[in-house]
Structure 1
């Protein structure tokens, strides 16, 4: 009798496991995306257009919190991962983003540096803990730096560009996403931080977000800020000025979409290839720069081979 019961229990467990496994693969059209939150509006636009052309697709973003969700198909990242991670994933470099210095529009700092602007020396003095950095003795305007608490793409990219690490950025650390830096800055009339164009500007009006002043920087590296470099009232004009690869004092990095090399979700691969083909037309609208065409093409070919084999 005991052996019969054991057999029934074992059979039931086997069936339950089988049903659980089936439920995870029963819908091959479902794709879960997660990653850097400031890219969500752009990715949502892509999802909407893709689903219009592919009604069977069920693609959704699962918001990243302190960690990534337990299960996802595609990952959006705003910095280059370590070599060990890169070797396990296939990548599409879909866009580039810039990081611009901003201040509370009511601050004395915003008023003064709207005229003076920032060169490399002043940049380092304001944003980084570095006792060896050359000092600008005229810097006496009060300010409060805000930066991210958690490891994240924007602060890693910002610090790396100037030769530092995220931990070297000074100021008040804010938990949460890049949007929370903006909220903190707007509440503090001494606030200064760095952010992407899509948060510094209103995407509809193309003008600076209310309450934010963009700080001009020495783009050509000649040690001073020209009248043209102070022209920061229009998002499209700013994007055009930082599109040039030879600019100085503006960190620029890639937004990547990636998939695990062992992920066999055909819809996820199909969406990745669609993004590689169709994403370019939306980038400027959302405040991004186009990726290098050759880099994008090379990565697209890798995804095509990956999709064909798996």
Structure 2
């Protein structure tokens, strides 16, 4: 009797496993069918015209501009207007239907989803701590890195007031801390890494990613945080002039180990993010958000382009393309 029960149990488990595999295969076939249909639809939309308006996150602005340029090579009669003003502006404009798509560089809040926010993940990047490359202690800072606790002492508790406090030395050189004045994904994401929210961040408030880059470039003892696109030059892939990116001391041992040292170029950093070596947050997906599912043909075509052919431009501009699984999920959301 026991043998019969064992055989029955094994057969039942096999049926469950086979059913699970069959369900997954059906789901994959359904997604692939949508993608084939999508490609066919794109061929029919060669003569698109109209206007697409985007606003929002500085983090997504350079990538959105590149996508717009490439999309208009296919659809020259479509006009695309893009303005940067922070993720807060992007989500507000999208929900108010002031723009077709809001650029948002943070997770979408439940209350925003309740108001009709329809987010599509489009690419990935990260926020990094930045300092002036002419800091008198630059070599020691880069060798020591930044611990999460020290970052909390800088931006949350305000107990780290000198570079000696940051490095654990006797240096009395003051540290000037900068944060963002605008509601933005960079600050929200950086704060999330510290277990806080943007409104908890202390420091001199500066508007926009370019603003933080500029003020740190001028302040030899300053420290801020930036999206990758505003810390690294798009052409050289190296940090901008007078900017250095502080490595994160992920294991907290007071030094940057070889496996933590991947900040020399944006290419190295992006590879580390893709491999999961850089924590998330401050790494995160970036979104284009509409009020409800987009209905305008030109907007749908633009999003479909971004999730297919447009992904090839992500590394060129300094971003990380999404995995094939995520891309399929986002495309499927547009087709449901």
When the two structures are superposed, what TM-score results if normalisation uses the length of structure 2? 0.74
Alpha-carbon deviation of 1:222? 5.6
Work out whether residues 114 and 230 of structure 1, in 8 Å CA contact, stay in contact via their aligned partners in 2. no
Q: Once the 2 structures are TM-superposed, how far is the Cα of residue 256 of structure 1 from its aligned partner?
A: 0.2
Distance in 1 (alpha carbons) for counterparts of 2:56 and 2:278 = 28
1:104 paired with 2:132, answer: yes
Q: Higher helix proportion, which one?
A: 2
Describe the superposition over 1:6-63 as per-residue Cα deviations: whole angstroms up to 9, x where unpaired: xxxxxxxxxxxxxxxxxxxxx9621111111232221111111111111221222144
Ranked by relative contact order (alpha carbons within 8 Å, sequence separation 6 or more), the top structure is 1
In structure 2, distance between residues paired with 1:108 and 1:124: 23
* CA displacement 1:118-154 (0-9 Å, x = unmatched): 22222222232277xxx87825442111110122100
- Please list every run of at least 4 consecutive aligned residues from structure 1 whose deviation after the TM superposition is greater than 3 angstroms: 62-70, 219-224, 246-250
Residue 89 of structure 1 deviates from its aligned partner by 2.9
Instruction: State the match for 1:54 in structure 2.
Output: 75
Q: Does 1:142 align with 2:163?
A: no
- Aligned partners of 2:125 and 2:270 also within 8 Å: no
Equivalence for 2:243:
212
- Contact 1:103 1:109 (C-alpha < 8 Å) held by counterparts: no
Q: Deviations 1:267-294 (Å, cap 9, x if unpaired)?
A: 1111111111122211122222222432
1:54-101 residue CA offsets vs partner (Å, 9 max, x unmatched) = 122122214437845572111110012221322413222111111111
- SS of the residue corresponding to residue 322 of structure 2 reads coil
Query: What residue in structure 1 maps to residue 112 of structure 2?
Result: 85
Q: For the Cα contact (< 8 Å) 1:92–1:296, is it kept in 2?
A: no
CA-atom RMSD in angstroms: 2.6
Q: Per-residue deviation at 1:258?
A: 1.9
Quick check: 1:30 aligned with 2:56?
no
**Does structure 2 retain, via aligned residues, the 8 Å contact 1:90–1:260?**
yes
SS in 2 for 1:108: coil
Judged with a 3 Å threshold, the aligned counterparts in structure 2 of structure 1 residues 249 and 77 are, in CA distance, closer, same or farther, namely: closer
Work out the CA distance in 2 between the residues paired with 1:136 and 1:264: 51
C-alpha displacement at 1:182, in angstroms? Answer: 0.8
Q: Is there any run of 5+ residues in structure 1 with no aligned partner, and where?
A: 1-26, 306-310
- For the structure 1 residues 258 and 173, does the alpha-carbon distance in structure 2 shift closer, same or farther, using more than 3 Å as the test? same
Please tell me whether the aligned partners of residues 119 and 224 of structure 1 are also in contact (alpha carbons under 8 angstroms). no
Q: Secondary structure at the match of 1:283?
A: helix
Normalised by the length of structure 1, the TM-score is: 0.80
